[in-house]
Amino acid sequence: MTTVASDDVLLEQRCLLPEGDCIEVRLARAARGLAYRLAYLRGGECLLCYEHGAARPHARTLRGRTAPYAFRSVEQLRYDFERDAEAL
């Protein structure tokens, strides 16, 4: 699990869902713009993760397969993450 590191954290939360799954969100200001990590976990296993940080380009990982992510806006990021989480 990659950690977004920054002194300027904008949002950090963990939400436990009724069925036991978990959503983690972290947004921070970084030297190269916005650093973020949105993750969907089930039983401690990360099934879905969108992330970007100082040492990591924008990426989407779904069930262990990582691909580049074309970041356009925070709103689009949220929409894409929610769509993929629903599909899980």
Model confidence over 4-15: pLDDT tens digits?
444 699 999 999
Beginning with the edge strand found earlier in the chain, give each strand of the sheet holding 33-42 in spatial order.
8-16, 22-30, 33-42, 45-53, 56-62, 65-68
Whether residue 3 lies inside any domain: the answer is no
Whether residue 29 lies inside any domain: the answer is yes
Least confident of 1-5, 14-18, 22-26, 70-74: 1-5
Given this model, what pLDDT does residue 39 score? 97
Whether residue 53 lies inside any domain: the answer is yes
Q: For the beta carbon of residue 47, count every other beta carbon within 10 angstroms.
A: 17
Q: φ, ψ for residue 18 (rounded to 5)? A: -55, -35
Whether residue 62 lies inside any domain: the answer is yes
d(CA 88, CA 74): 21
Q: Specify the pTM.
A: 0.84
Provide the residue range defining the domain that includes 59: 8-87
Whether residue 72 lies inside any domain: the answer is yes
Whether residue 2 lies inside any domain: the answer is no
Whether residue 65 lies inside any domain: the answer is yes
Average pLDDT over residues 49-60: 90
Given this model, what pLDDT does residue 7 score? 61
Whether residue 1 lies inside any domain: the answer is no
Count how many domains the chain has: 1
d(CA 82, CA 88): 10
Higher-scoring residue by pLDDT: 7, 17: 17
